[in-house]
A = this chain, B = another copy of it.
Amino acid sequence: MGTEQAQGPVWARETAGRRPKLTREAIVRTAIEVADAEGLDAVSIRRIATELGARAMSLYTHIERKEDLLDLMADETNAEILVEGELPDDWREAISAVVRRTRETIRRHPWLVDLVASRPQVGPNGLRHGEQSLAALSGLPIPPEQKWRIIAAVDDYALGFVIRETLRGEGRSGYTWTPQEREALMRPYLRELLESGEFPNLAPLVNEIASGPADPAAADEDFEQGLRWMLDGIAGDLGL
């Protein structure tokens, strides 16, 4: 009953062998592709299995829980954050290069914000990123703890920025509408509230709120501006 006969002549069948067609790498890669294309919510065990021509439970041979898969996905893409080649000598340029890279990577993989915002990134590549951030400041004559505080502050800014940036874009899980639809639905509501007179300062800024900076270049400049502010403050504090 439950037993199935192999179909077709021998030589047409797979070369026998338990040579795994499922591997951790293939699973993670597929999951990343699905997340890139359809958001993190589309990454279900069943879905990834189907994508690989396998059944759901087969994945559990290679990962222990879904959490593991998410951690592996995050660490895999964390590798893209690493700046290749030499870092600039100037510490400001160096740390800027690193956080720019962070932003670019998250723009390529918007679902990544959900992961970095919900679990510490301490996989191998996450640590390499930390190491590289510290290396960017290696020329500064200050104790490691102080360096770490500087990196944390800059990273915090970058993370916050990218989160809000991603919030405006698509490809994010948890949302039923595209940004355009959302904006269309939102605008009348915003108009009404803002014209109530309760928001004198906010009213002139409806557009900024509803849709964010118009063109990508403006968003880039906003990011650089905030980064400059933070670095200026740090530089001033260090007496540089």
B residues within 8 A CB of A15? none
A94, chain B: closest CB distance, angstroms: 13
A149, chain B: closest CB distance, angstroms: 6
Q: Are B113 and A117 in contact (CB under 8 A)?
A: yes
A44, chain B: closest CB distance, angstroms: 16
User: How many chain A residues touch B (Cβ–Cβ < 8 Å)?
Assistant: 63
Contact of A201 (CB < 8 Å), options: B113, B120, B131: B131
| With contact pairs A152-B226, A160-B158 given, residues A167 and B124 touching in the complex (Cβ less than 8 Å) | no
Q: Are B160 and A193 in contact (CB under 8 A)?
A: no
The answer to the question of A231 belonging to the interface, with a C-beta cut-off of 8 Å to chain B, is yes
Q: Are B120 and A226 in contact (CB under 8 A)?
A: no
| With contact pairs A153-B226, A202-B130 given, residues A118 and B231 touching in the complex (Cβ less than 8 Å) | no
Give CA–CA (A185, B161) in the complex, Å: 32
Q: Are B229 and A237 in contact (CB under 8 A)?
A: yes
A138, chain B: closest CB distance, angstroms: 7
The answer to the question of A24 belonging to the interface, with a C-beta cut-off of 8 Å to chain B, is no
Q: Are B122 and A209 in contact (CB under 8 A)?
A: yes
Task: Tell me the nearest residue of chain B to A70, going by C-beta.
Answer: B174
Chain A 105-117 interface mask (CB, 8 Å, partner B; 1/0):
0000000011001
Chain A 196-208 interface mask (CB, 8 Å, partner B; 1/0):
0011111011001
Residues of chain A having any CB pair with chain B under 8 Å: 67, 113-114, 117-120, 122, 124, 127-128, 130-131, 134-135, 138, 144-145, 147-149, 152-153, 155-161, 163-164, 167-168, 172, 174-176, 186, 190, 193-194, 198-202, 204-205, 208-209, 222, 225-226, 228-234, 236-237
19 A-B Cβ contacts within 8 A? A67-B174, A67-B176, A114-B118, A117-B117, A119-B174, A120-B168, A122-B186, A127-B193, A130-B209, A134-B201, A144-B205, A145-B205, A149-B225, A153-B230, A155-B164, A157-B157, A229-B234, A233-B236, A236-B236
